Amino acid sequence: MLEDSNSLPAAIVVGLDCITGLQLARTLHYRGVQVIGIAGDARHFATRTRCVSDVFFVKPGAANLIDCLRGLSNSNPSVLLPATDLAVSCVAEHSDELSTLFRLANPDPTSIQRSLGKVPFTHHARQHGTPIPRTRFVENLENLRDAARELLAPFVLKLNVKTKLWDDLAGAKVIYAADGAALEQAYLRCRDWSDQFIVQEWVGGGTTPCIPTTHSMQQTDASSPSVSGTRSVNGRS
């Protein structure tokens, strides 16, 4: 449990059950900070890390997370560190209350949603002349086919805002497609997971300044629709 004292404040990592949350917990622990983890997946390997003093498992839903956080507040406010997109969005949405209970540094909710959503981020980048991959918005199969004609293959297919359903079924941040046929096959497989996607041209490297709208992309087998992005590895930490 949290140590209620005048010592260095503890850190609460919201989203321990992902590689980002695990890295946060490790980094802080090795610097002498008490770390509490909050996770939704009790089977995730990161929840077995010895770098946290306790782990609280929370059912999906913002209300459950906020209730859990209320129970962890004390007289020496902990530093709140959301480690997933959904956690960042939830903390931003409830920042008025949470800022009275914890130490946190979140921009306004509008900025958060613009950063998390690939559609609003693309609009923002275009308005400010920020170079990004050529992008098309997709809400139906006709939009997708238009994108395949207008952009240069290979492509990447992404959700506007990543969800737990996407994580569970896709297992990575983006889907790579070598050509238009593979792109359509990929979209038909996952179109029920969301009502809004984006398609971008694949950025294979080079020296041209460019800001992808995901943190990492790694090419996989180009022969069929596939997934790319951060993957988990088994083991203890």
**In the chain, where the domains are located:** 11-112, 117-228
Three-state secondary-structure class, residue 76: coil
Pick the CATH number of 11-112 from 3.40.50.20, 3.30.200.20, 3.40.50.2300, 3.90.1150.10: 3.40.50.20
pLDDT grade, residue 223 (50/70/90)? Answer: very low
pLDDT value at residue 184: 95
Q: Which amino acid is at 210?
A: C
pLDDT (tens digit, 9 = 90+) per residue, 53-75? 999 999 878 899 999 999 999 88
Written out in words, the top-level CATH class of the domain with range 117-228 is alpha beta
Q: Is the pTM of this model over 0.85?
A: no
Distances (CA, A) of 190 to 25, 145, 159, 195: 33, 15, 10, 10
Handedness of CA 172, 174, 176, 180 (dihedral sign): positive
